[in-house]
Amino acid sequence: ATPTSIMVGTGRAAELGVLFRKGDALQQLSGVSVVALDKTGTVTAGRPELTDLVLAEGFDRAEVLALVAAVEARSEHPIAEAIVRAAGGSLAEAGAFTSFTGYGVRARVAGHEVLVGADRLMAREGVEIAPLAGEEARLAAAGRTALYAAIDGRIAAVIAVSDPVKPSSAEAIAALHGMGLQVAMITGDKLETAEAIAREVGIDRVIAGVLPEGKVAALDDLRGEGGLAFVGDGINDAPALAHADVGIAIGTGTDVAIESADVVLMSGDLRGVVNAVAVSRAVMRNIR
Ligand code: ADP
Ligand code: MG
């Protein structure tokens, strides 16, 4: 591409709210065949709300919620914020807090050992989840993120949060399909939850249960012949944004994501990806 056409192309893109941070990206994006999306905050709004709390025999709702929220008050995960908001009011102090990235959290509250997180955390800590596994499966199939809470080593509750998809996600994904692109989603969430969300917005392929450090390897599994773009917003998306042929950051995302990306979308949604691809193709068509 000539410097002039790239300049015109990046200018046109900027008018559409798409910032190409490197001229190269304009060229590379035109040749991409797969667009991989982060789930939380990219496909979904990224502001989950607590929707369900199902108790195991012998546990009290207010007590369990208070203990769990006290632990989550120490975490910065969007799931944690949803639980703290739902609990409301003042919370007990949590000590000996540990966060297991991609698994969940643990702390001591009011003399109790409290563990909150995914089934894989409970498995690792030897907590028997059988009494609530059916509830968890039902909630995950509905597209909610279901977590287990254990108190003093005993399963106490399943807690679900729901993070609705952005209103524009389905329309943008349909437009990407119309451009002949494959659309995939990568998430640390469970497969059942991820598949329900993928169905809702028309995503072709899902890679779920991915630990943050596994996102880069997941991209290599998805890479098509024409190259791959990754769209994300979070701190934990930075390595994937840097690794993809074209990293696209949602402008409302974290600074770390924006700095790692080749392209930044001013809008907070996926229609910016459609505009970015359209501009890149138009520029490259004019040059060839
Ligand atoms: P994603 O970025 O796709 O949401 P994460 O790697 O952040 O994935 O989290 C993966 C899973 O780990 C979550 O779906 C949840 O089950 C569990 N988890 C992570 N952080 C917390 C937390 N603060 N409280 C409870 N569970 C958590
Ligand atoms: Mg995200």
The answer to whether the CB of 106 is under 6 A from ligand 1 is no
The residue among 9, 4, 15 whose CA lies nearest residue 30 is 9
Instruction: Decide if 231 contacts 237 (C-beta within 8 A).
Output: no
pLDDT at 109: 98
Helix (H, G, I), strand (E, B) or coil at 263: strand
Q: Which residue is it, tokens 């209103």?
A: 167
Catalytic residue among 38, 119, 189, 233: 38
Q: Where are the domains of the chain?
A: 3-45+165-287, 49-162
pLDDT in tens, 22-58: 878 999 999 999 999 999 999 999 999 999 999 999 9
Q: What class, spelled out in words, does domain 49-162 have in CATH?
A: alpha beta
Residue type, 39: K
In the chain, what percentage of residues exceed pLDDT 90?
83
Give the mean pLDDT of the chain. Answer: 94
Does the fold of domain 49-162 match that of domain 3-45+165-287? Answer: no
Ligand 1 atom nearest the C-alpha of 76 is 23
What number of other Cβ atoms are within 10 A of residue 272's Cβ?
26
Q: Which tokens belong to 225?
A: 């012949």
The residue behind tokens 């050992």 is 113
Atom of ligand 1 nearest to the CA of 77: 23
Calpha distance 43→231 (Å, rounded): 9
237 is catalytic: no
What is the distance between the alpha carbons of residues 203 and 64, in angstroms, rounded to a whole number? 36
Ligand 1 pocket test, candidate residues 147, 191, 231, most atoms within 8 A of CB: 147
Strand partners, 104: 100, 117
d(CA 148, CA 39): 21
pLDDT band with cut points at 50, 70 and 90 for residue 6: confident
CATH class assigned to 3-45+165-287: alpha beta
Say what the ipTM of the complex is: 0.94
pLDDT tens-digit map of 245-262: 999 999 887 889 999 999
Residues 118-162: pLDDT tens digits?
A: 999 999 999 999 999 999 999 999 999 999 999 999 999 999 999
**87 vs 40: CA distance, rounded Å:** 22
